A and B are shown apart, each in its own frame.
Chain A
Amino acid sequence: MASFVPTSADTLEDQRLYTRARLTEVACLDCLATVGVKKNSEHHTSIQWTAEARAHCPELSRRANGRDSHYACPRMIASIEAAVREDRIPIGAEDGY
């Protein structure tokens, strides 16, 4: 069913670049969750979860659908920081993505 439809094939490539490119897998040091991480700079972080990873995370599962479900899981953040320290996540953007 047609929704917002691009009129150029390049737009599909842009969608892929911005949402999927350069994601590095990071496994949580405390649970079985593995997420896709991108860091365009030291202060930037992009975290892509899957339903499977989400189900593994005890911290996020503990929170009901309330306002606190927005906050990041501190263990996952710590795991990402550890990966950064170990140079496992390339830092820097490629032409804005």
Chain B
Amino acid sequence: MSDTRYLDRGTPPERFARGWHCLGLATAFGDGRPHAVEAFGGKLVVWQDSKGEINVLDGYCRHMGGDLTQGTVKGDEIACPFHDWRWGGDGKCKAIPYARRVPLRARTQKYPVVVRNGQVLIWHDVEGSAPDLDILPPVLPGIGTDEYTDWTWEVLDVPTAHCREIIDNVVDMAHFFYIHFAFPTNFRNVFEGHMATQFMESTGRPDVDGAGYGDEGLMLKSEASYFGPSYMVNWIHVDYKGFETEVVLINCHVPTSDNSFKLQYGVCVKKPEGVDDATAEYIGKRYSETFKEGFEQDVAIWLNKAPVQNPLLCEEDGPVYQLRRWYEQFYVDRADVTAEMTDRFEFEVDTTKANEFWQEEVAENLRKKAEEESRPADEAAAASSSAMTNG
């Protein structure tokens, strides 16, 4: 019997999570053309009809499998490019221009759609249940009005990781120091029902040059909640060198296979007083770029790490197992959701020791940096080239 810790990679679920998934900003689909969205192991077709409704169907025609995303919007229907069958947003075939009648069974997979906060949300459930409107993400007050900037929207492809990797971030206190270059000074989690929340206060590290959250002047108070398996609202109060900003960040994803997903994020900023609209939009863009760096730091880890079903934790870590127990509810039939998965659970991470150690590490890094800077330039260059030959 060996004492070596076994790394259990587990096997990913055969299904995709039940719940609301965001496909992007409603404005992106409003041009009267069909749009292709990769999701749930296949492809969806999305289009807006003449009434302004957004419709989402499975991307492949039930006739002979034509690719509806390459079709045309005719009237309110999507017409297949192969034999022109017309599919309505309700999933029914409305017409076959060359046929006497439409087969009664001509129904395809449709996804119920709700547009909320300017974003398109679709309901996915392998059991085919009616959309659960009670667990939609909340309406965000003020967003979509003059009070806030318009959404930015970006998509990052994560081709070789299960989307549970991004969920794990909810409880991962220590990675904020190592990956995102911040000191997480307060860290708390609450899971209940379909929601999982992370509270964090952090400041940037002074020993790294601003990447993502790593900016010494950056103090964040962040409240981030998943509403269901894939859609997170992150309310962030930012104090940047005394300049305070309210930022709303949406972090959501769509699984594309059992080992890939598309990460999407959008930012709105409450327009600061005395700042004109153009400047406010610029501030919004800058935040979007900051978060982009942050997400890219995560993605670089996910693309190279192993999946772990049995994480080994230390006392300073957050509640990974409880978070995964919560996440499990979206991957089992409704009838199999247990009380444990949804019961309220609270966890306050002890960040005191960690921050003591990190302060020491950062002080040491700053000391080394200052030492290097005070050395004459040619000596430093010689030292670094000899270091390279050793590495």
Contacts and interface: CB of A to CB of B under 8 A. Distances in A.
Q: Which among B319, B333, B343, B346 has the highest number of chain A CB atoms within 10 Å?
A: B346
Contacts of B336: 1
Contacts, number: 117
B137 to A, nearest CB: 12
B345 A47 contact: yes
B12 A11 contact: no
A51 B315 contact: no
A40 B11 CA distance: 31
Contact of A7 (B10, B13, B347): B10
Given A4-B331, A49-B345, A67-B223, A10 B313 contact: no
Contact of B312 (A49, A51, A72, A96): A96
A43 B352 contact: yes
Contacts of A6: 8, 10, 309-310
Interface string B34-65: 00000000000000000000000000000000
B315 A50 contact: no
Contacts of B193: 65
A51 B309 CA distance: 27
Nearest to B327: A4
Nearest to A45: B348
B309 A7 contact: yes
Contacts of A41: 315, 350, 353
B192 A47 contact: no
Contacts of A18: 313, 319-322
A50 B310 contact: no
Contacts of B225: 67, 70
Nearest to B310: A11
Q: Which among A3, A7, A10, A43 has the highest number of chain B CB atoms within 10 Å?
A: A3
Contact of A54 (B12, B321, B344): B344
Interface range on chain A (Cβ under 8 Å from partner): 35 or more
Contact of B347 (A15, A45, A50, A60): A45
B321 A50 contact: no
Nearest to B325: A19
B310 A47 contact: no
B165 interface: no
Contact of B10 (A5, A44, A67): A5
A63 B197 CA distance: 16
Nearest to A12: B310
20 contacts: A2-B11, A2-B13, A2-B14, A5-B309, A6-B10, A7-B8, A7-B9, A7-B309, A18-B313, A18-B319, A18-B322, A42-B350, A43-B348, A44-B315, A46-B319, A48-B345, A49-B192, A51-B343, A70-B199, A72-B190
Interface of A: 1-8, 10-11, 14-15, 18-19, 40-51, 54, 60, 65-67, 69-70, 72, 93, 96-97
